[in-house]
Amino acid sequence: PYHQTYAERALNHENPAAKLLLETMERKKSNLAVSVDVTRSEDFLAIVDAAGPYVCLVKTHVDVLEDFDYSLVERLQELSKRHDFVIFEDRKFADIGNTVALQYSSGVYKIANWSHITNAHPVPGSSIVKGLSSVGLPLGRGLLLLAEMSTKGSLATGSYTEEAVRMARAHRDFVIGFIAQRRMDGIGAAPDEAPEDEDFLILTPGVGLESKGDGMGQQYRTPREVVLDSGCDVIIVGRGIYGSEFQPDTIAARAERYMAEGWAAYVERTSST
């Protein structure tokens, strides 16, 4: 997958959310995701609208919105159609199967109704995938497992990361890839265990051009380091795009720059041998 194009890789995936993401990346020539972590719905929608033309995916944390109303979801879906992007609620589920199935389908947010992709910590074991998949698979959704984290001192390393990849390999219909800092193909597998053409999507947060960290444990690498050196597929950028003042022009200009950097690294990667 390191050298393959996103269009070629769309053919490797049966899961509708994985296919949709890869096809959107190819169509828009963007491997940029914007992460929108703001507390007011108005700012949220303004950022999504400004960055929308440049991204393949919008990543949300709907539980930080202090004025959340379910109508926001309809607005987000309208923007997703207008600007052609995939939706990923970064819920980071981490409970027993029965509980995560309820959290995913119900409550205030009803995430499974509108989020093409969501994610989970592998810490409970594969029952978490079973619980989420009972809700999401019939709806054509996809799941990412958090195999690694971007934070300083993360415990998701070594054998934990390997087990996460094994868990994904056992649920290829629903698990489409990872939140991770590098490619995971073949990790933790004996030579005959992983299919030769194993193709996981790698979505990578902790991306910034201007800063190395945020004073709260976050660590940033550049789009080039992430896509070219580490072989990741989607760069996830939050504050690097919307900063602290939510100015549509500035947001669009920054998103365009991250998109260009991410795509250039991808073009270099797929044309190398």
Known catalytic residue: 95? Answer: yes
Is 238 labeled as ligand-binding? yes
CB of 32 to ligand UP6, least distance (A): 12
Known catalytic residue: 19? Answer: no
DSSP codes joined into one string, 158-184: HHHHHHHHHHHHTTTTTEEEEE-SS--
Known catalytic residue: 29? Answer: no
Closest CA to 265 of 211, 229, 221: 229
* Binding footprint of ligand UP6 on the chain (CB under 6 A): 35, 37, 61, 90, 149-150, 179, 205-206, 218, 236-240
Place of tokens 């995916």: 57
Look up residue 198 and give its two tokens: 């194993």
CB neighbours of residue 94 within 10 Å = 15
176/237 with CB nearer ligand UP6: 237
Is 81 labeled as ligand-binding? no
- Among residues 19, 90, 199, 233, the one annotated as catalytic is 90
37/95 with CB nearer ligand UP6: 37
- Among residues 29, 49, 84, 92, the one annotated as catalytic is 92
Is 188 labeled as ligand-binding? no
Which residues lie closer than 8 Å to 231 by C-beta, 6 or more apart? 1, 2, 182, 183, 202, 269
CB of 90 to ligand UP6, least distance (A): 6
Cα 5–chain centre separation: 18
Place of tokens 């669009």: 252
Q: Binding site for substrate: residue ranges?
A: 37, 59, 150, 218, 238-239
Looking at the annotation, which residues are catalytic?
90, 92, 95
